[in-house]
A and B are shown apart, each in its own frame.
Chain A
Amino acid sequence: MTVKDRWLLWVFLAPTLLLMGLMLFYPMVGTVIDSFHDTSFINPQPRFVGWAVYEKIWTSRQFPEVVWNSVVWTLGVVLLQNILGFFAAMLLNQKLPMQGVTRALVLLPFVLPGVVTAILWRFMYDPQLGLINSLLISAGILDESAAWLASSNTAMAAVIFVAVWKGFPFSMLIYLAALQNVDKSQLEAATIDGAGAWRRLIDVTLPSIREVILVNIVLTLILTFNYFDIVWVLTRGGPQNATHIFPTKIFETGFGQFRFGEAAVYGVFSILILAMLVALYVIVQQGARNRRPTA
Chain B
Amino acid sequence: MKTLLTSVAVAAMLTTSALAEDVTLQFWDNQQTESGLSKFQQAAIDRFMEENPGIKVEVTTVPYPEYQQRLLTAVQGGNAPDISTLDQIWIGAFAEAGAITDLSEQAAASGVEKDKFFPGAWDSANFNGGLYGIPFNVDVWQFSFYNKDLLDAAGVSPDDLKTFDGLRSAAEKLTKNGKFGVGLFGHRGEDTVVVVNSFIFSNGGEVLDSSGACALDQAPAVEALEYLQGLAEYAPKGILNASSGSMRELFLNGSLAIEFWPALEQPTLQSSDINWDFVNGTAGASGKAIGTYGGWNLAVYESSENKEAAWKFIEFMVREDVNGDVVDLLPANIAAAKAFVDKNRKGPDRILEHLNNAKPRPLSARYLEVADIQMTLYQDVFSGANVAEAAMKACEEIDALN
Hey, which bits of chain A sit against chain B, CB under 8 A?
41-44, 126-129, 145-152, 155, 235-241, 252, 255-259
Within 8 A of A (CB), among B366-384: 366, 368-369, 372, 376, 379-380, 383
Q: List 8 A-B contacts (CB under 8 A).
A: A44-B97, A128-B236, A128-B255, A150-B238, A236-B187, A238-B187, A238-B240, A256-B68
Q: Does A151 contact B240, Cβ atoms closer than 8 Å? A: yes
CB of B19 closer than 8 Å to a CB of A: no
By a CB distance below 8 angstroms, the chain B residues around A127 are 236-238
Chain A contact residues: helix, strand, loop or mixed:
loop
Which residues 240-293 in B have Cβ within 8 Å of A in the complex? 240-242, 246, 249-250, 253, 255
Tell me the bound Cα distance from A148 to B96 in angstroms: 41
Least distance between A101 CB and chain B CB atoms (Å): 35
Given contact pairs A128-B237, A147-B239, A259-B369, enumerate 5 new A-B contacts (beta carbons under 8 Å). Answer: A145-B237, A147-B241, A150-B237, A235-B241, A239-B187
User: Nearest Cβ distance between residue A193 and chain B, in whole angstroms?
Assistant: 55
Knowing A129-B249, A147-B241, A238-B240 are in contact, say whether A41-B187 is a contact too (CB < 8 A): no
Docked-complex contact B366 and A42, CB < 8 angstroms: yes
List of A residues within 8 angstroms of B186 by Cβ:
239
Q: Give the top 8 A-B pairs by smallest Cβ distance, nearest first.
A: A147-B238, A239-B240, A150-B238, A150-B241, A127-B237, A150-B240, A127-B238, A42-B96
Residues of B near any A CB (own CB < 8 A): 68-69, 72, 75-76, 93-94, 96-98, 180, 186-189, 236-242, 246, 249-250, 253, 255, 365-366, 368-369, 372, 376, 379-380, 383
Instruction: Choose from A155, A236, A257 the contact partner of B369 (Cβ within 8 Å).
Output: A257
List of A residues within 8 angstroms of B249 by Cβ? 129
Distance from B367 Cβ to chain A, minimum over Cβ atoms (Å): 9
Residue of B nearest to A237 (CB): B188
Contacts of B187 in A (CB 8 A): 236, 238-239
CA distance A155 to B242 in the complex (A): 13
Report whether B380 and A258 are in contact in the complex, using a CB–CB cutoff of 8 Å.
Answer: no
CB distance A240 to B236 under 8 Å? no
Contact in complex: B238, A149 (CB < 8 Å): yes
Q: Residue among A126, A145, A148 with the most chain B CB within 10 A?
A: A126
Interchain CB contact under 8 A, B372 and A257: yes
Q: Which residues of A contact B75 (CB under 8 A)?
A: 41
CA distance A78 to B319 in the complex (A): 58
Q: In the complex, which of the residues A126, A149, A238 contacts B379, with contact meaning CB atoms closer than 8 Å?
A: A238
Kindly report which residue of chain B lies nearest to residue A149, judged by CB atoms: B241
How far, in angstroms, from A126 to B248 measured CA to CA in the complex? 13
Is B241's CB under 8 angstroms from A152's CB? no
Chain B residues positioned under 8 Å from A152 (CB to CB): 383
Least CB distance, A126 to chain B, in whole angstroms:
7
Query: In the assembled complex, which residues on chain B have CB atoms less than 8 Å from the CB atom of A255?
Result: 68-69, 72
**A240-B365 contact, Cβ under 8 Å, with A126-B238, A257-B372:** no
Contact A239 B97, beta carbon cutoff 8 Å: no
CB-based nearest A residue for B372: A257
A128 to B75, CA, bound (A): 42
B188: chain A residues at CB < 8 Å are 236-238
Name the A residues within 8 Å of B96 (CB-CB): 42
Q: How far is the CB of B262 from chain A (nearest CB, A)?
A: 21
- The answer to whether A42 and B97 touch across the interface, beta carbons within 8 angstroms, is yes
Q: Shortest Cβ distance from B168 into chain A, in angstroms?
A: 21
Contact of B189 among A126, A236, A239 (CB under 8 A): A236
| Contacting residues, chain B, for A128 (C-beta < 8 A) | 180, 236-238, 250, 255
Whether A42 contacts B93 by the Cβ 8 Å rule is yes
Q: How far is the CA of A258 from the CA of B368 in the complex (A)?
A: 8
CA distance A146 to B239 in the complex (A): 11
- Give chain B residues whose Cβ lies under 8 Å from the Cβ of A239: 186-187, 240-241, 379, 383
Pairwise interchain contact A147-B372, C-beta atoms closer than 8 A: no
Residues on the A chain within 8 Å of B246, using CB: 126
**Bound-complex Cα distance A255 to B76 (A):** 12
Residue of A nearest to B238 (CB): A147
In the complex, which residues of chain B have a beta carbon less than 8 angstroms from the beta carbon of A259?
A: 369
Closest A residue to B98 using CB positions: A44
A145 to B76, CA, bound (A): 46
- Inter-chain contacts of A236 with B (CB < 8 A): 187-189
Q: Which residues of B contact A257 (CB under 8 A)?
A: 368-369, 372
Closest Cβ of chain B to A144, distance in Å, is: 8
A66 CB, nearest partner CB in chain B, Å:
14
Say how far A243's CB is from chain B's closest CB, in angstroms: 10
Chain A, residue nearest B242 (CB): A150
CA distance A273 to B101 in the complex (A): 42
Q: How far is the CA of A257 from the CA of B369 in the complex (A)?
A: 6
Please determine whether B376 and A240 come into contact, CB atoms closer than 8 angstroms: yes
